[in-house]
Structure 1
Amino acid sequence: MKLYANVDIVNRRLASHGMKGNNKKIKSHVAIGKKPLEDGQKEIFIMVSNTQQRQGMKFPIIGNIEQVFTRLVNEGKTTIRFKEPENDLCIHGDPIEVKSFLSVLKKVLSGQDVEKLTLSALQPLSNKQIAGPKRKLTVAKRSEYPVKEGFPQTLTHVKINGIRLAKIDKRILKLMNLTELDLMENEIEILPEDCEALTRLSILNVASNKINVIPRGFSAGQLSNTLTSLNLTSNSIKLLPNHVCQLAQLVSFHIDENELTQLPPSLGNLSKLKILTATNNKIKFLPGSSAALRLEKLDISNNPWDESQARVVSNKLTGVSNLLELSACQVITHKIKYEPEDMFPQLLRYLESVMFCPCKKPIWNNVARAMVKLQLARISSSVSCNGLKEINMDAFLCSSKCLKTFVNNPFAF
């Protein structure tokens, strides 16, 4: 069992005499292994190897561990206190890997199935092994692209810029440890449908490509749980689909320099969004849900904003919605899960076209539409909009009551 993590070995004797040690964490291999003894028995050790301890520093386990501190294990931190020598082994690594390591250590200490455990041979590591698994990959030339070597599963950061990449390599989409992916300045046209293996991806930069399609699976799947930053600047996007607003963890969203004429109706559902930039598009008004945003930075400069007077554009409200709309409303309200193969494509598109009244009720055709002035300072602490203080937002309302309330005060909801 091996663990690659930041390690600090603290000498408790120095501390007891008021002396300080190095107190600097070093990237190290921590292994649980067994060493054959002369009498045929095997002794189990923890061995720490790094650039300063290439031969490895060994600590006996059985009868030699005073305490294991696990209060911060969910943050990937643990401390193993040895009796002899009087050292504390302070470990900070990946939470999942640390927990797996402690699980094996617990079995060793309890004597459960020790012979069945896969333990390391306590041998000195090579320079390559000491360097640890590869975490970052940068490709700036086509000749550097790992066509044959592939992408190590240990990668957390991948940066591939300016090599005319036409699509995202499927091997990249299987990197379970990937947290940041930068594919800026390529020729990608479509974002991937299936990102289910990217369980840790937090930052995605695909600026300066040729993206014109954002499939439903991209925003409705795994990335809706992890993606916090999305940069779509300088692409060819004419329509930002409403399902993009299912990326509920987004904090930073950049969609500058595209061909957008409007933003998705459910934009206000991005409750964690703090930074939104949509400069140099063709946007005329913000969606009505924008009143729910609470941003730190909003930059929507260089758009042809509609400066007409506030007004009711249309009123198609009827007493009762049709059966299709009533059924769809139940699916959305109760968050009933569905897959594309569960229904006809027409019904799927209908569900995805959902809008929300400011009262949070899902709506489709049985609506009233109103243009209302939005004071930008109400939704963002920092605003850039070519000097404009307020612009029109286009709202869809579910009832006469909501229409009246919204026209009088769009922030009343």
Structure 2
Amino acid sequence: MKLQCDVEVVNRMLPSFGMKNRGKGARAVLSIGKHLDKTTQRTSVYMIICTAKDRTGSKYKLKDNIEKFFTRFVEEGKATVRIKEPAIDICLSKADANSLKSFLFAARLADRGSDTSSLPLATLTPVRARDVEKPKKKLTIVSKKDYPLASSFPYSLEQLQVSYCKLSRVDMRMLSLKALRKLDLSNNHIKKLPATIGDLGCLAELILHNNQLESFSEALCLSTLQRTLQHLDLSQNRLKGLPSQFSQLRELVNLKLDDNKLQWLPFRVGRLSKLRFLSAAHNQLALLPGDFRRLSLENLDLFGNPFAPPNPLDHSIHLTFPLSLQELASRAVVNLRVPYGPQHLPAHLCRDLEVSKACDCGGACVSFFIQTAVSMNLHQVSHTVVLVDDMGGTEAPVQQHFCSLSCYSQFLDNCLQRGGR
């Protein structure tokens, strides 16, 4: 039974002599195994702690020698074992939570004198230098022959790049790396992302450039990535669209969507209030969602999309007279900012409210509206704009919705007045 972690051995007697402990842990390997006591000629179970400075290790007898276990933060890879003789506290940190639990279980059995024959006891021998090295934070693999098949990824990784390895799916071993902040899986053959990527609670950068992705799931948009993800690169894939829930990733600062098959951007893209860099060049975007006006970007690239000059007279009408009671109630909920959720309304009504449109008058419309497109200069939403086409244009068509015929008529009158001038 072995455990790799940071260890600080605290002598509880030092304060009585006016001395302080060092207060800093060292990388160590802890082992539990049998050792022959040369004095008594009896074999007992011991714990040995080996560090880079002391690879031979210090041994501590376990049977009837543990005063207490402190395990309040065991899920964070932390625990303390209080030894009776000598009077020390063994403080463990930066351990894999599951491995730590198994190790403490074995220590408890040894302390009670229980039968340890079923436990994988280790040989109490000096450790290798590489076993007590500092935790590895960064790992780059850019060749299939270097990909670890028999060994696991270091649990302490914060940055992991696995490129050019012809991966067809995400290795589930990567998803147990709880400290991971950057995951780069670019230049592989990945077709689908597991929802469990959303369990990586520290993930700030996800790079999936040049794969074969056809979708980005709703589950990922509703996962812990909402609170952590800042950089997302989905360029050079096969995406045709993104779910409406994509706007829940509100920590996004940099979003790359170039060279896909996107026919639309997320309807509520304007909710990405922290977004500063957006590139969606070389897609199939014919127009932008009306919510696009709410963005505040530093750099925008929409080059190579089939934008066409909009005609305000070219419209589609989705209206009935009179409006349904459901539509009137839905508009009231949005206009009055009434809180709602699945605990108050059926799920399908919540979904309708989530995609409500803003009329030119400032009011809301949900399922009944008039839709057209207007031209917008992209400098209204971005400081720097890459030209939309080879003609030097920086304008693109944006959806415009109207809650009634009167609002649409007023809009057309304004267009005619501007045209007459």
TM-score normalised per structure 2? 0.64
Residues 1:293 and 2:295 aligned together? yes
Amino acid in the other structure paired with 2:370: A
Matched-pair contact (CA < 8 Å) for 1:265–1:356 = no
Following the alignment from structure 1 to structure 2, what is the Cα–Cα distance between the partners of residues 240 and 351?
Answer: 17
Query: Which of 1 and 2 has greater Rg?
Result: 2
Following the alignment from structure 1 to structure 2, what is the Cα–Cα distance between the partners of residues 116 and 380?
Answer: 61
Distance change (3 Å), C-alpha of 1:118 and 1:167: same
Distance change (3 Å), C-alpha of 1:178 and 1:304: same
Residues 1:34 and 2:11 aligned together? yes
Distance change (3 Å), C-alpha of 1:395 and 1:308: closer
Deviation at 1:371, TM superposition (A): 1.1
* Structure 1 counterpart of 2:178, from 170, 176, 179: 176
Following the alignment from structure 1 to structure 2, what is the Cα–Cα distance between the partners of residues 196 and 312?
Answer: 42
Following the alignment from structure 1 to structure 2, what is the Cα–Cα distance between the partners of residues 178 and 100?
Answer: 15
Distance change (3 Å), C-alpha of 1:238 and 1:160: same
Cα offsets for 1:275-316 (capped at 9, x unmatched): 000111111111111111110000000111111333461333
Matched-pair contact (CA < 8 Å) for 1:137–1:157 = yes
Following the alignment from structure 1 to structure 2, what is the Cα–Cα distance between the partners of residues 133 and 174?
Answer: 16
Following the alignment from structure 2 to structure 1, what is the Cα–Cα distance between the partners of residues 21 and 410?
Answer: 71
Following the alignment from structure 1 to structure 2, what is the Cα–Cα distance between the partners of residues 238 and 136?
Answer: 33
* Structure 1 counterpart of 2:399, from 394, 397, 401: 394
Residues 1:302 and 2:278 aligned together? no
Following the alignment from structure 1 to structure 2, what is the Cα–Cα distance between the partners of residues 183 and 306?
Answer: 35
Matched-pair contact (CA < 8 Å) for 1:377–1:389 = yes
Find the counterpart in structure 2 of residue 136 from structure 1. Answer: 138
Distance change (3 Å), C-alpha of 1:191 and 1:100: closer
Find the counterpart in structure 2 of residue 375 from structure 1. Answer: 377
Q: What is the percent sequence identity of the aligned residues?
A: 27
* Structure 2 counterpart of 1:46, from 11, 15, 22: 22
What is the SS of the residue equivalent to 2:167? Answer: coil
* Structure 1 counterpart of 2:367, from 345, 365, 368: 365
Matched-pair contact (CA < 8 Å) for 2:226–2:251 = yes
What is the SS of the residue equivalent to 1:119? Answer: strand
Distance change (3 Å), C-alpha of 1:291 and 1:119: closer
Deviation at 1:179, TM superposition (A): 0.4
Following the alignment from structure 1 to structure 2, what is the Cα–Cα distance between the partners of residues 325 and 169?
Answer: 49
What is the SS of the residue equivalent to 1:245? Answer: helix
Find the counterpart in structure 2 of residue 262 from structure 1. Answer: 264
What is the SS of the residue equivalent to 2:172? Answer: coil
Deviation at 1:329, TM superposition (A): 8.7
Following the alignment from structure 1 to structure 2, what is the Cα–Cα distance between the partners of residues 116 and 402?
Answer: 78
1:123-272 correspondence to structure 2 within 5 Å: 127-128=129-130, 131-272=133-274
Following the alignment from structure 1 to structure 2, what is the Cα–Cα distance between the partners of residues 246 and 208?
Answer: 24
Find the counterpart in structure 1 of residue 46 from structure 2. Answer: none
Amino acid in the other structure paired with 1:119: C
Amino acid in the other structure paired with 1:223: L
Distance change (3 Å), C-alpha of 1:125 and 1:149: closer
Distance change (3 Å), C-alpha of 1:329 and 1:189: farther
Matched-pair contact (CA < 8 Å) for 2:402–2:408 = yes
Residues 1:354 and 2:355 aligned together? yes
Cα offsets for 1:182-231 (capped at 9, x unmatched): 00011111122233421110000001000002111011111111111110
TM-score normalised per structure 1? 0.65
Find the counterpart in structure 2 of residue 119 from structure 1. Answer: 91
Distance change (3 Å), C-alpha of 1:181 and 1:400: farther
| Length, aligned pairs only | 323
Mean Cα deviation higher: 156-165 or 319-328: 319-328
Matched-pair contact (CA < 8 Å) for 1:230–1:250 = yes
Matched-pair contact (CA < 8 Å) for 1:376–1:383 = yes
Which ranges in structure 2 are unaligned for 5 or more consecutive residues? 28-50, 55-72, 93-125, 416-421
1:40-119 correspondence to structure 2 within 5 Å: 45-46=21-22, 55=53, 117-119=89-91
Distance change (3 Å), C-alpha of 1:225 and 1:361: farther
What is the SS of the residue equivalent to 2:149? Answer: coil
Following the alignment from structure 1 to structure 2, what is the Cα–Cα distance between the partners of residues 205 and 348?
Answer: 35
Find the counterpart in structure 2 of residue 79 from structure 1. Answer: none
Deviation at 1:400, TM superposition (A): 5.9
Matched-pair contact (CA < 8 Å) for 1:265–1:355 = no
Matched-pair contact (CA < 8 Å) for 1:256–1:280 = yes
Mean Cα deviation higher: 245-254 or 137-146: 137-146
What is the SS of the residue equivalent to 2:196? Answer: coil
Distance change (3 Å), C-alpha of 1:134 and 1:240: same
Following the alignment from structure 1 to structure 2, what is the Cα–Cα distance between the partners of residues 125 and 47?
Answer: 24
Matched-pair contact (CA < 8 Å) for 1:3–1:31 = no
Following the alignment from structure 1 to structure 2, what is the Cα–Cα distance between the partners of residues 406 and 146?
Answer: 62
What is the SS of the residue equivalent to 2:270? Answer: helix
Instruction: Indicate the RMSD between aligned Cα atoms, in angstroms.
Output: 4.3
